[in-house]
Amino acid sequence: MISLAIMSPAYTGYIVSDICDTLFYANTTFDFIRFCIRKQKIPAKTIRIYQLFQSRKSPFFYALALLQKISGKDHLKARALKLFKGVSTKEMEQWAEEFYAEDLSNLKIRQTHELLSRFDNEKIILASSTIEPVALIISKKLSANHYVATSLEIKDNVYTGRIQCDLTGEKTKAVEAIIPHSEIISVAMSDNHTDRLLLEKAIQKIAICYKKSDVQFWKKMPGVTILMVSKKH
């Protein structure tokens, strides 16, 4: 466990934070999908098709998983997001509001939220491959002025069920597009091993770890600070 007192008040740059399992004990994309299914916001027929591709008892799941391993693309997520085909942007925003109020607000990771609160709203960037409607509501609730996330295709204010731009593996580039050249990243924090490059660009690098293998991975990075967290889901 780290002491957040190590943070220097002299830091005036940006803080960049992952969302899933860094700010919340949640995989926000799939937890949002489960919330929508639980609340019966998705038609039953659409849910049955979704379950064919998400159940580990289904051959379709393993076919997608194999394709994902070969291509490096998140085909499981892409398939799951087809659930939202035909949903209006207004509906989706309302569902995300409900999801935050009923589920996500109870899953905050206290240490990382405390650190986030030390920065001016203008200096907070949430960087996540979660879907944009969920990232948007989280940024509003946390008063973060900036976020980058996976965008979904919209036509005539209705979601098509397709991904427009997946942020997986592209966070660093997206964050750099926001930060002025004269500014720095004071703090970056994430649990994702794929965010290594993002953390390397920060003065204070905070790796969120849940198990020993995470610690073994991150401790190889010079200057990294390990924050051990217990899983809650």
- The mean pLDDT of the chain is 87
pLDDT at 2: 45
pLDDT at 3: 43
pTM: 0.86
Give the contacts of 97 (CB within 8 A, at least 6 positions apart): 137
Share of the chain above pLDDT 90, in %: 73
Ordered domains of the chain (ranges, CATH)? 4-228 (3.40.50.1000)
pLDDT at 230: 82
Cα torsion 210, 21, 153, 51 to 10°: value is 70
- Summarised one tens digit per residue, pLDDT across range 55-105 is 566 565 556 556 556 655 666 788 889 999 999 999 999 999 999 999 999
Angstrom distance (rounded) from CA 131 to CA 184 = 26
The pLDDT of 46-62, averaged and rounded, is 61
pLDDT at 104: 97
pLDDT at 5: 46
- Summarised one tens digit per residue, pLDDT across range 134-167 is 999 999 999 999 999 999 999 999 999 999 999 9
- Summarised one tens digit per residue, pLDDT across range 173-198 is 999 999 998 899 999 999 999 999 99
8 Å CB contact between 94 and 165? no
Residue 116: Cβ within 10 Å count: 20
The pLDDT of 3-24, averaged and rounded, is 76
Q: Up-side HSE of residue 29: CA atoms within 13 Å toward CB? A: 23
Give the contacts of 168 (CB within 8 A, at least 6 positions apart): 73, 74, 129, 150, 194
pLDDT at 80: 86
pLDDT at 109: 95
pLDDT at 1: 42
